[in-house]
Amino acid sequence: MIAVISDIHGNLEALEAVLEDARRERADGVICLGDVVGYGADPNACMDKVWERAQAKVLGNHDAAARDLREAENFNEVAREAIRWTSETLNAVNVERLGDLQYEHVEDATRFVHASPDDPPAWHYILTEQEAWNAFEACPENVCFVGHSHVPLRVVLRDGRLLVLTDEILTVRDEDRALINVGSVGQPRDGDWRASYALWDPARRRAIARRVEYDLEQASRKILEAGLPEILARRLAIGQ
Ligand code: ZN
């Protein structure tokens, strides 16, 4: 069983809580869907931890912007300020690590990508039915894990119909195709402040949605102490 994590965004407290939860749940691997940095106060420590624990990781749009600020042109002002701070804060080892990341990873007939598999460098969100169809069309594998929106979502293509499933446990049938957004470890935006990730059992084709409490106060305090925009600390508490 593997832990699929995404959008850590420099939140070390949330990352450590998630990795501890995954260990307790007996996950024996970790795959990271990107955006390890940006927004939070611990980009280096988060990267070190992910590089130590994850067998595979892909590039997120904030990772791309941290290694080349021209990629931040479409960011809003707060995100741009945070990524500027992040790129100044990252050490040489981590800048080089970001340079090695690819857009996608395929393992056990499953695709792992930060945004939609439909043109990954374009960073498309999957929020509408049409965008879900586009994603299925672009993905040759039956199961695809994504992040990017910071909102967990499970869409299954079954008997020609798209179904949004909200149960904690999703069993992907042989004839199903599934698109699984694991939500965000470090900055959830679905109104629930707890860190979000998924466990994936490739043998039983079972995905389990997990929410984990972490030291919110400490993560928020570090953001303020780093001189990052105050809103980035405040939004953590409301999960937005
Ligand atoms: Zn993100």
**175-219 confidence digits (pLDDT tens):** 999 999 999 999 999 999 999 999 999 999 999 999 999 999 999
Please tell me the distance between residue 28's alpha carbon and the centre of ligand 1 in angstroms: 25
Domain of 114, in residue numbers: 2-238
Q: What average pLDDT does the segment 145-156 reach?
A: 97
Please tell me the distance between residue 211's alpha carbon and the centre of ligand 1 in angstroms: 17
Q: How confident is the model at residue 9 (pLDDT cuts 50, 70, 90)?
A: very high
Please tell me the distance between residue 174's alpha carbon and the centre of ligand 1 in angstroms: 31
C-beta of residue 102 within 8 angstroms of C-beta of residue 31: no
Please tell me the distance between residue 180's alpha carbon and the centre of ligand 1 in angstroms: 15
* CATH number, domain with residue 190: 3.60.21.10
Q: What is the pLDDT of residue 72?
A: 95
Q: Regarding beta strands 153-158 and 29-32, do their DSSP bridges make them parallel or antiparallel, or are they unpaired?
A: unpaired
C-beta of residue 89 within 8 angstroms of C-beta of residue 82: no
Please tell me the distance between residue 115's alpha carbon and the centre of ligand 1 in angstroms: 9
Q: What is the pLDDT of residue 139?
A: 97
Q: What is the DSSP string of 28-90?
A: -EEEE-S--SSSSS-HHHHHHHHHHH-SEEB--HHHHHHH-GGGGTTS-HHHHHHHHHHHHHS
Please tell me the distance between residue 195's alpha carbon and the centre of ligand 1 in angstroms: 13
Please tell me the distance between residue 223's alpha carbon and the centre of ligand 1 in angstroms: 16
DSSP state of 58: B
Number of structural domains (the chain) is 1
DSSP state of 15: H
Please tell me the distance between residue 62's alpha carbon and the centre of ligand 1 in angstroms: 7
Please tell me the distance between residue 9's alpha carbon and the centre of ligand 1 in angstroms: 7
Please tell me the distance between residue 159's alpha carbon and the centre of ligand 1 in angstroms: 32
Please tell me the distance between residue 175's alpha carbon and the centre of ligand 1 in angstroms: 31
Q: How confident is the model at residue 151 (pLDDT cuts 50, 70, 90)?
A: very high
Residues 6+ apart with CB under 8 A from 108: 202
Please choose, from the candidates 226, 231, 191, the residue with its C-alpha nearest in 3D space to the C-alpha of residue 211: 191
11 burial type by CB count under 10 A (0-12 exposed, 13-18 middle, 19+ buried):
buried
Share of the chain above pLDDT 90, in %: 100
Please tell me the distance between residue 109's alpha carbon and the centre of ligand 1 in angstroms: 25
Please tell me the distance between residue 61's alpha carbon and the centre of ligand 1 in angstroms: 7
Please tell me the distance between residue 150's alpha carbon and the centre of ligand 1 in angstroms: 6
Q: Please, what is the average pLDDT of the chain?
A: 97
Q: How confident is the model at residue 229 (pLDDT cuts 50, 70, 90)?
A: very high
Q: How confident is the model at residue 110 (pLDDT cuts 50, 70, 90)?
A: very high
Q: What is the pLDDT of residue 126?
A: 95
All residues with CB under 5 Å from ion ligand 1: 7, 35
Q: Is the pTM of this model over 0.85?
A: yes
Q: Which amino acid is at 203?
A: A
